Amino acid sequence: MDQSLAPSAAPPPPRKLSREARRQQLIDATIEVIAVKGYARTTLTDVANRAGLSHGLVNFHFQTKERLLSETLLFLAEEYRQNWTQALDEAGHSPAHRLDAMLRADFNLAICTDAKLSAWCAFWGEAQCRPLYQEQCGSNDAAYLDALESLCAELKAEGGYGFDPVRAARVLRVTTEGVWLDMMTMNTPYGRAEALSTVHSCAAAFFPRHFGDDGLIV
């Protein structure tokens, strides 16, 4: 057995947790296991060991591996949505500050961890996850892109820039997704700070009066 998945890898859990807290404990363990073993090789036993719980308790909460994995994907998607929408809510009214908040949100340590990035990569690479993701999470992606396109359009008007805001939003999104993949797959990966600087450099190419390589120009 992979030692990183042994029961001793996790601290002893509290004896009594609410149903939702126990389910979250198992989803968190699933993310950690997928990061080590990948999507296909993850088993309910691995997850139980990682969480320090019995196999029967995993079955009680999720019944099947497929349901556990789908619930884990839905958790990651909802966590991501809440992360960027909260960042926008706290950013004020300036389109530059709001765009900066969206870009920074993708590198918030709450969602941008090695384990979660690895789990996202595993789900993205698994063909059977795509219909589920589109059915359950496609509207989240559409809302994110709509917000990004709107901010690019506002900044274009404010700064007198000459570009297609839809294309600019697409390039920013692809750049962000690309550095996420880089952080997990490069032989010499870079960290979150360099990843964010890369995305800011992309924003600076479109909005040079609002952004530089170090971020927002105040």
For 3-63, the fitting CATH number among 3.30.540.10, 3.90.78.10, 1.10.940.10, 1.10.10.60 is 1.10.10.60
Task: Say what the pLDDT of residue 187 is.
Answer: 67
Q: What is the DSSP-derived secondary structure letter of residue 13? A: P
Distance, CA of 171 to chain centre: 18
User: SS3 of 162, please?
Assistant: coil
Stretch 16-41: mean pLDDT, rounded? Answer: 88
Percent of the chain with pLDDT over 70: 90
Contact of 5 with 29, CB cutoff 8 Å: no
Fold of 73-216: Tetracycline Repressor; domain 2 (1.10.357)
Greater confidence (194 vs 128) lies with: 194
Question: Is the predicted pLDDT of residue 122 greater than 60, yes or no?
Answer: yes
- Beta-bridged to residue 212, according to DSSP, are 215
| Ranges of CATH 1.10.357.10 domains, the chain | 73-216
Quote the tokens at residue 97: 């500050």
Residue 54, sorted as left (phi over 0), alpha (psi -120 to 50) or beta, turns out to be: beta
Task: Say what the pLDDT of residue 4 is.
Answer: 42
| Ranges of CATH 1.10.10.60 domains, the chain | 3-63
pLDDT band at 8 (very low <50, low <70, confident <90, very high): very low
Contact of 177 with 184, CB cutoff 8 Å: no
Tell me how far CA of residue 73 lies from CA of 68, 88, 129, 181, in angstroms.
Answer: 9, 23, 9, 17
Handedness of CA 134, 139, 143, 149 (dihedral sign): positive
Greater confidence (8 vs 179) lies with: 179
